[in-house]
Structure 1
Amino acid sequence: MASNWYIYFLAALHIFTAVLAQPITSRADDYHIAVVDQNSRTVRVFPRNAKRWNDDAIFWSFTPGIFNSKWNNLSGVKIRKVAKHGWIALVTASGGKAGILNITKEKRKVNLFDLMWQATPGDNPHAIEIVPRNGAIVVASSNPGKLSLYVPTSKDIDDYSKIKHAEDYPLKGAHGVLWDPNGGKSVADGFLWVVGDDFLYKFKVTGSFQNTRLKQVGRYNLPKGGLGHDLQPDYTNKQMLLMTDSYAAYSFNTKSGKFKVLKTMMKLKSLVRHPNGEYMWVTGDKHELGQYVRWGAKVGSQTDARGWSDAKFYKARIYNPNYE
């Protein structure tokens, strides 16, 4: 008869083998996801592993309401962290608006009255970014295409009452904007990346306070020449960016300047990769927008999904303030 330790060993080995055999998403970290839903006119945050994304599962939400048309068609959200306010949400709406909200444990449901800062760049805002240690805010608007730069006018860069519009930069089809620390800790070390029609652009942020400006230092042809949709980090590799256009999903090596086609696939509205290795994306289904957020070890190879039949998801983001 086998000894007890051997029986226990075989049982443990069986369990360990079964766990390894599970798809990556069934072993996924229980992180949170911020989703932009144009049907409900909300940004909502849900646990990744909640069995159902219903009202009971909502961790945080922003609802601009129905009375301000410039907040129609929410188009983007990012989570960031600043010294004065802690975690903040950066939001955009195709109706013309961009804004910043504080995320606190005390208030899980917020609306327009909770905005700490807002502006009206117009021209279909799609994405927003804040430059760390500088305080500048950049909004990418797609039609016909521009970057709108807002700068702090006081030494307190987190005082949003002192943020002023500085300049607009024409950029055809601007859809995504992302700060890349580039392994450094100063503004001078980093780059601002922007995806638009046909190209990925690289900018330096120069100056400070009201003298902050953007300077283009690079431009890269999208491999299939499509209209850019999304630009996000690959959280498994600080040198890699992820992006989508009207034809495919790509990774981009910021050191070599080389693209890799991850998946030829149309209507990819957003794409990001979690540190655990799983990709998360939204594909336009009905009405060009998505009803489900999807996950998989490879882009387009779904192993899990969350959502509902009448959703109109445009963007899905990892609830994480890190730039890379």
Structure 2
Amino acid sequence: MDRRSLLRGALAGAVAAPAAGLLTAREASAAPAAFDVLIGDVNSGRIFLFDRNKPFTDHTIKGQLNPAGSGHPMEHRFRATDGDGEILLAVTGTATTGTASIYRRRDKKLLWSVSDVRNYPHSIERARGTGVVVVAGRSHGSGGGAATGGSLHVFRPANSHASSLVRAGSPVPFHQAHGPLWDPRLERLWVSGGKRLTAYRIVTTANSAKLVEDTGRRLDAFTRAHDLQPDFRRPGRLLVTDTYGVYAVDTASMTRSTLHERRYVKSYVRHSSGEQMWTGAVENGNVFGTKYVHFNVSGVARAREGAIIYKARLDTTAYA
């Protein structure tokens, strides 16, 4: 994560107004959508699951986990598998190293972990079908525009279980790698980082797996690309945050449009109901974020007292 100047005061402790044209009258007046939210708390090092329509207190915790490895919880997302059922993908990290891990959701059993991700891991994804897992990490040390380095760490399974994952070759260089996301419609792995959003084919054999860039789906249109999520309201559209805003990318035309001009948003997603959920830092505050998860359509900001929330994810195994 970039240790730079932070968000403008518009984000401080309150819900900023959504960009014009994003909300319809029906969306703005509808009852809040019901869904659960997975958050990572930098202060406690734990991952929590909450009902978005209830206060984020100790009494309302629906699930929690202290993920493997030292450092901050940088990513946490659910996926569905044939061999292990629903799993939780997680990464923790520091400026120089990190740990990627996979847990079985129903009993929190640790199925797989690797602790030698030798850069600053920011996210993890599992490609449906192949079972290949990719961990994205940016460069060592502090961030900022002068930072260099970053890579994608690829792991392939020997069978249908996460416990069989092994490294698949050397890390793939990717400047400031932050957000991997599998696209089942295109059968591509999207990755964001630095100025770039691009897609990879995952090519596998019985004993290998490698990433092959689909250069026709490359978009160099960002400043320091950060989070990457699907738009669950509009298939075929990706949501990307970077230093200066939140953007939508149409995967058919590979064109970018601006959704919000909020700086240093750490995570952003749109639920199928139209609700927009995001987290972000504030000026002169903690570089990872605040205690709030913001919901634009319902106009709510849920606070987890004592927490610093870096990313918030929907409780879903869907990719798009």
**Length, aligned pairs only:** 278
Report SS of the residue matched to 2:182.
Answer: strand
CA distance in 2, matches of 1:25, 1:142: 41
Q: Is the 8 A contact 1:134 1:209 kept in 2?
A: no
- The aligned residue for residue 155 of structure 2 is 150
Q: CA shift at 1:122, angstroms?
A: 2.4
Q: Alpha carbons of 1:25 and 1:307: their partners in 2 closer, same or farther (altered >3 Å)?
A: farther
Distance, in Å, in 2 between the alignment partners of 1:316 and 1:28 is: 17
Identity of aligned residues (%): 29
Deviations 1:89-116 (A, max 9, x none): 1001123101101111xx4xx5xxx311
> Out of 11, 27, 31, which is 2:31 matched to?
27
Match of 2:291 in 1: 291
Counterpart selection for 1:117 from 112, 121, 127: 112
Which residue number in structure 1 is paired with residue 132 of structure 2?
136
1:60 is the counterpart of 2:63: yes
CA offsets per residue over residues 240-283 of structure 1, 9 Å max, x none? 01010111100110011011111111110000000000110001
Normalization by structure 2: what TM-score? Answer: 0.82
Q: Secondary structure at the match of 1:97?
A: strand
**Larger RCO (CA within 8 A; separation ≥ 6):** 2
Of 159, 178, 181, 1:178 maps to: 181
Displaced runs of 4 or more, over 3 A? 20-26
Task: Show the 5 A alignment for 1:79-228.
Answer: 79-95=78-94, 96-104=98-106, 107=107, 110=108, 114-120=109-115, 121-143=117-139, 144-153=149-158, 156-157=159-160, 159-167=161-169, 168-182=171-185, 189-218=186-215, 219-222=218-221, 225-228=222-225
SS where residue 235 of structure 1 aligns? coil
Question: Among residues 228, 233, 237, which one is paired with 1:240 in the alignment?
Answer: 237
The residue that corresponds to 1:14 in the other structure is none
The equivalent position to 2:42 in structure 1, one of 22, 30, 38, is 38
- Give me the whole-angstrom Cα distance separating, in 1, the residues matched to 2:295 and 2:205: 40
Q: Which residue of 2 aligns with 1:10?
A: none
Which position in structure 2 is the counterpart of 1:275? 272
Alpha carbons 2:136, 2:178 under 8 Å: kept: yes
Q: Which has the larger radius of gyration?
A: 1
Structure 1 regions of 5+ residues with no counterpart? 1-19, 183-188
Cα distance in 1 for partners of 2:302, 2:118 equals 32
Give the gaps of 5 or more residues in structure 2: 1-23, 140-148
User: How far apart are 1:23 and its partner, in Å?
Assistant: 6.9
One-letter code aligned to 1:150: F
Superposed displacement of residue 60, structure 1: 1.2
The one-letter code sitting in structure 2 at the alignment partner of 1:134 is T
Question: 1:21 Cα deviation (Å)?
Answer: 7.7
Match of 1:5 in 2: none
- The residue that corresponds to 1:316 in the other structure is 312
Alpha-carbon distance between aligned partners in 1 of 2:294 and 2:277, rounded to the nearest angstrom:
6
- What residue number does 2:19 align with? none
Aligned with 1:226: secondary structure? strand
1:25–1:295 CA contact under 8 A, matched in 2: no
**What is the TM-score when the length of structure 1 is the normalising length?**
0.81
Q: Between Structure 1 and Structure 2, which shows a larger proportion of helix residues?
A: 1
> Cα distance, 1:308 vs. partner?
3.2
C-alpha spacing 1:236/1:102, structure 2 compared with 1 (3 Å): same
In the aligned structure 2, how far is the partner of 1:161 from the partner of 1:263?
41
